[in-house]
Amino acid sequence: MKDLLQIRPAKLNDLANILQFETNNQEWFAHFLPHYAGNPPSRSLLKKKLKVDDTGMQFLVCLHNGKVIGRFNAQYLDQNKEMIEISYRIDKCFVNRGIARFALKHLLLVWACRGINEIYAKVADYNKSSIKVLLSCGFWVDEFCPQTVNLKTQPQEGWVFRWSASQQPAQDVNQFDRVLSY
């Protein structure tokens, strides 16, 4: 897969390609992303984020021809810049191919090398694909949060997942079964 995909920091000159990616997948993303329902990112917002992103917190997954098929975004949760929260999205035509898992495993190494010690992700309880991706990349359930994920103006139950560079999950239960059978 590494020969077919490029995972790289997003740059300002990627703006048109990112907007095309978001537009092409608008309905698809609204099913899974809390902030997306009815509010896809605007050109001005994306441009502003890309201008100030000098630390590589936004990454693109591209085909060999440059077409954007995925985005990974991170934001710092602390002033020491050791904890981040991530979100990601994959083009609807490229899901269930291991791309999100492949890219996330790569980015975990990138972020860990930059001093990120803890990474969090919020997922709606019905988003089984993202739950599987996170669990397969070494994340574990940090907490269950009723009515924490807002989709289409209606709160949904969700999970907060955690990954740590220095710790393994505290639980001994098979979390994959626990989360997916909820």
The three-state DSSP-derived secondary structure of the chain is: CCCCEEEEECCHHHHHHHHHHHHHCHHHHHCCCCCCCCCCCCHHHHHHHHHHCCCCCEEEEEECCCCEEEEEEEEECCCCCCEEEEEEEECHHHCCCCHHHHHHHHHHHHHHHCCCCEEEEEEECCCHHHHHHHHHCCCEEEEEEEEEEEECCEEEEEEEEEEECCCCCCCCCCHHHHHHCC
> Which pLDDT belongs to residue 3?
62
> Which pLDDT belongs to residue 34?
53
Q: What residues does each domain of the chain span?
A: 5-180
> Which pLDDT belongs to residue 142?
83
Mean pLDDT by 10 residues, the chain (182 residues): 82 89 82 59 73 76 94 92 93 94 96 94 86 95 70 69 80 48 42
Asked if the 5-180 domain carries CATH number 3.40.630.30, the reply is yes
